[in-house]
Structure 1
Amino acid sequence: MTDDLLGRHRCVLPDWLALYYEEPIEITHGEGRHVWDSDGNRYLDFFGGILTTMTAHALPEVTKAVSDQAGRIVHSSTLYLNRQMVELAERIAQLSGIPDARVFFTTSGTEANDTALLLATAYRRSNTVLAMRNSYHGRSFGSVGVTGNRGWSPTSLSPLQTHYVHGGVRTRGPFAALDDYDFVAACVDDLKDVLGHIRPPAALIAEPIQGVGGFTSPPDGLYAAFREVLHERGVLWISDEVQTGWGRIGEHFWGWQAHSRSGPPDMLTFAKGIGNGMSIGGVVARAEIMNCLDANSISTFGGTQITMAAGLANLTYLLEHDLQGNARRVGGMLIERLRAAAAQVPAVREVRGRGLMIGIELTKPGTDEADPAAASAVLEAARAGGLLIGKGGGHDTSVLRIAPPLSLNVAEAGEGAAILERALRSTM
């Protein structure tokens, strides 16, 4: 990338709009699991535009659907019948597992979570919300108000009264030393204690696997145990599936299914991967919840024809090619390869994840102190080796985030693991 483009970026865009790398790169095109920069360098992509390129770059089925639709009509708004929107909503409603489901489309995960909060607070007539520590739900005023990650909370002002409970991070915090059974029991006791001190909340919003927080997750069944407590009090459960949905975690199509003892959530939110790079988000909720609003509401660009065409083509490809199964198989191999490599690197505190959603947490050797400088160094070294990854985490951004397109094959997984292993060894 030329210095001129970087200078222009800095002149007209916000300082807080972060760029990766000491020398930022411009991605010009991609194909499959690879992308190229403006200098002609080729990279294996293990981050997929922050988990948005779910199936593959330049997937022919999606690009053809977008091109064909663009030649007919791009947008008409939700004020008119939209066949593509209805067809995608039908498929998502059926896949969601939520009975009598209704679907509302937005343009992003942030807007989807904001909509879910609007529905929950209107339905329950309460602006009190429960959320998880270390969580991230978006950058709007409402979603920031339920984000429990200091690095992504630019203001403490909020239209909501939010109370944070334990459980999203298994290996840190006051319950980390407990076994899984006692960990869940302690988190449930904490939830009950919080509920005893606050006004009746509208909902609990939770990511089954915390994305920006560093791909952390509780033991299976935690949210089912929470749901039993909440259901007794009429409190809704919103499962934020923006990063975990569509089979990325391999074992399940949705993250909530690892906590399914009490059935599906009252609402789930989705975005990112369904559009394979096109801007699609949305909410699925039981009809009585979705229909509770007593005022007009539309989404000008939510459900627009061109994004719905992309979503339909992408979802069809994902299901017909069993990319969930591929994520389980290839992701399982990848995580074991990374664990074996990390065992020789003292700075790696933990390798965790499911399917093709993997986190490597780095700390200063011999301590639990986060090491964001090490994470940045590995990010740079991986890029120099031809691999793009991400970073995140609730403890000063010291977790490497690995989330390739779900069509990743065994050879590419091995290639990426080898590059990452060299990057870890060279910087530690």
Structure 2
Amino acid sequence: MHARHRAVLPDWLTLYYDQPLEITHGEGRHVWDAEGRRYLDFFGGILTTMTAHALPEVTKAVGEQAGRVLHTSTLYLNLPMVELAERIAALSGIPDARVFFTTSGTEANDAALLLATSYRRSHQILAMRNSYHGRSFSTVGITGNRAWSPTSLSPFQTLYVHGGVRTRGPFAHLDDTEFTAACVGDLRDMLGQTRGDVAALIAEPVQGVGGFTSPPDGLYAAFREVLDEHGILWISDEVQTGWGRTGDHFWGWQAHGAAGPPDMLTFAKGIGNGMSVGGVVARAEIMNCLDANSLSTFGGSPVTMAAANANLAYLLEHDLQANARRVGGLLLERLRAAALPGPGPGGAPRPGVVREVRGRGLMIGVELVVPGTDTPSPEAASLVLEAAREGGVLIGKGGGHSTAGVLRIAPPLTLTVAEAEAGAAVLEAALRTAEDRLTGGTRA
């Protein structure tokens, strides 16, 4: 299968594992490979299987809708799309909200950029350093992570702002209040060097591909005060942080709640539970600013809308946000304990491979370094990734500075306490494997 894949698909299409994995089916928080081996899924198809694999409520909704009509396009009225838009508009917190559906997070962010630049009549965009917003030409142009930015060409003039990474960079030594003030000062200084007609700031409340990093709570509220002085819009990229995954909040922007809701938010991934659903929520005056005809052939299709409606209903009825907070807190605690380096031969302490365990809810990052240094270690991340697979757990990787030195852990939001404990035990063993390999020894 790997040889056939490489023969017909691009070389740059990333595959995990030395021996790539084919997933054939899933149920709950587990998936099976082509050899019949079962794994705990702690990555959910990149945070996309939000509730559970083969969730009966979703598969039933898909089957029933598919039996009626698969596709119509936005040229016709579509009851499942209207129903989902009503729910999302109400949940968004954005007043007088309008919703436009797409097929992915990339396309959602692309649409938000179109709206912002049209509304503000400017192609200047503020983006966060270490950010990722998609793989289209426009979203690559605002991505602040060079590992995922294959070209310097862009339709935008992009200005990158400090703040998305709390524990690295020139302000890392400051306390939270000083850090926020320094980032606001950087933003003001940058705006003082522009024409002043910047269209928007786009920001992930928790940076996904960047390694699940986040600023102190309230940073974007402080940014919002500056943006409002200039009429600049705020786009919250909730593709990975939405729908209660962070536990404490339904949307990531709510950690910066003093600012009120953003002007726009984008979403995708988890809402479809594997179906291709994305979208933009914006105030009516922004959403309606386009003065040309438009439509979406596949955005808002009846089948994907039926799936998303059923998935969202399940999430709300079972309060999966609370489960993400409770079980995620337990998993975070277990991983922090597992990250502590152990004694080497003779009981002497040895340098550890874990720099930081961070996260919110079921969105956890484990940053790995070359033992005894502060240098990110893609090698350590790959070792842990492989060892975790051998132990029966699938996780992801990410990170900034052109490295993939962060483990990304984001199970479905129905994760149980027993599954969290089992997964944490496997990950602890995988960390020890990497630690032994990189320090050239074994624990005492």
* TM-score (structure 1 length as normaliser): 0.99
Q: Which of 309, 315, 319 is 1:318 aligned to?
A: 315
- Alpha-carbon distance in structure 2 between the residues aligned to 1:359 and 1:368: 16
After TM superposition, give the deviation of residue 398 of structure 1 in Å: 0.1
Cα deviation, 1:375-397, whole Å, max 9, x if unaligned, reads 00100000000000000000301
**Aligned positions of 1:72-91 closer than 5 A:** 72-91=68-87
**Aligned positions of 1:2-151 closer than 5 A:** 5-151=1-147
Cα deviation, 1:219-264, whole Å, max 9, x if unaligned, reads 0000000001001110000000000000000000000000010200
Unaligned runs of 5+ in 1: none
- Alpha-carbon distance in structure 1 between the residues aligned to 2:340 and 2:263: 41
Q: Which of 225, 228, 238 is 1:228 aligned to?
A: 225
- Alpha-carbon distance in structure 2 between the residues aligned to 1:296 and 1:245: 30
**Aligned positions of 1:166-315 closer than 5 A:** 166-199=162-195, 200-315=197-312
- Alpha-carbon distance in structure 1 between the residues aligned to 2:67 and 2:333: 46
**Aligned positions of 1:317-396 closer than 5 A:** 317-344=314-341, 346-395=352-401, 396=403
Q: Matched residue of 1:71: which SS?
A: helix
Q: Which of 415, 420, 426 is 2:427 aligned to?
A: 420
Q: Matched residue of 1:35: which SS?
A: strand
Runs ≥4 residues deviating over 2 A: none
After TM superposition, give the deviation of residue 311 of structure 1 in Å: 0.2
- Alpha-carbon distance in structure 2 between the residues aligned to 1:202 and 1:389: 36
Q: Matched residue of 2:100: which SS?
A: strand
Is the contact made by 2:80 and 2:306 (CA closer than 8 Å) also made in structure 1? yes
Q: Which of 148, 153, 159 is 1:157 aligned to?
A: 153
After TM superposition, give the deviation of residue 294 of structure 1 in Å: 0.2
After TM superposition, give the deviation of residue 367 of structure 1 in Å: 1.4
Q: Please, what is the CA RMSD of the aligned residues?
A: 0.5
Unaligned runs of 5+ in 2: 343-351, 436-444
After TM superposition, give the deviation of residue 25 of structure 1 in Å: 1.1
Amino acid at match of 1:340: A
Q: Matched residue of 2:68: which SS?
A: coil
Matched, 1:410 2:417: yes
After TM superposition, give the deviation of residue 213 of structure 1 in Å: 0.1
- Alpha-carbon distance in structure 2 between the residues aligned to 1:150 and 1:68: 44
- Alpha-carbon distance in structure 2 between the residues aligned to 1:228 and 1:103: 25
- Alpha-carbon distance in structure 2 between the residues aligned to 1:161 and 1:19: 32
Aligned residues: 424
- Alpha-carbon distance in structure 2 between the residues aligned to 1:198 and 1:414: 51
Is the contact made by 2:369 and 2:405 (CA closer than 8 Å) also made in structure 1? yes
- Alpha-carbon distance in structure 1 between the residues aligned to 2:244 and 2:50: 10
- Alpha-carbon distance in structure 1 between the residues aligned to 2:380 and 2:325: 29
- Alpha-carbon distance in structure 2 between the residues aligned to 1:390 and 1:76: 36
- Alpha-carbon distance in structure 1 between the residues aligned to 2:173 and 2:372: 17
- Alpha-carbon distance in structure 2 between the residues aligned to 1:231 and 1:344: 47
After TM superposition, give the deviation of residue 349 of structure 1 in Å: 0.2
- Alpha-carbon distance in structure 1 between the residues aligned to 2:294 and 2:368: 45
- Alpha-carbon distance in structure 2 between the residues aligned to 1:418 and 1:198: 51
After TM superposition, give the deviation of residue 343 of structure 1 in Å: 1.6
After TM superposition, give the deviation of residue 146 of structure 1 in Å: 0.5
After TM superposition, give the deviation of residue 344 of structure 1 in Å: 2.3
- Alpha-carbon distance in structure 1 between the residues aligned to 2:315 and 2:48: 14
Is the contact made by 2:383 and 2:433 (CA closer than 8 Å) also made in structure 1? no
Report what 2:439 is aligned to: none
Amino acid at match of 2:303: I
Is the contact made by 2:356 and 2:368 (CA closer than 8 Å) also made in structure 1? yes
- Alpha-carbon distance in structure 1 between the residues aligned to 2:29 and 2:93: 30
- Alpha-carbon distance in structure 2 between the residues aligned to 1:81 and 1:240: 28
Amino acid at match of 1:321: H
- Alpha-carbon distance in structure 1 between the residues aligned to 2:271 and 2:105: 11
After TM superposition, give the deviation of residue 198 of structure 1 in Å: 1.2
After TM superposition, give the deviation of residue 75 of structure 1 in Å: 0.7
Amino acid at match of 1:359: G
Amino acid at match of 2:8: V
Q: Matched residue of 2:304: which SS?
A: helix
Cα deviation, 1:123-172, whole Å, max 9, x if unaligned, reads 00000000000000000000001000000000000000000010000000
- Alpha-carbon distance in structure 2 between the residues aligned to 1:241 and 1:88: 17
- Alpha-carbon distance in structure 2 between the residues aligned to 1:372 and 1:109: 26
- Alpha-carbon distance in structure 1 between the residues aligned to 2:177 and 2:370: 30
Is the contact made by 2:341 and 2:353 (CA closer than 8 Å) also made in structure 1? no
Amino acid at match of 2:5: H
Amino acid at match of 2:399: G
Identity %: 79
After TM superposition, give the deviation of residue 176 of structure 1 in Å: 0.0
Cα deviation, 1:270-321, whole Å, max 9, x if unaligned, reads 0000000000000000000000000011111000000000000000000000
- Alpha-carbon distance in structure 1 between the residues aligned to 2:409 and 2:392: 14
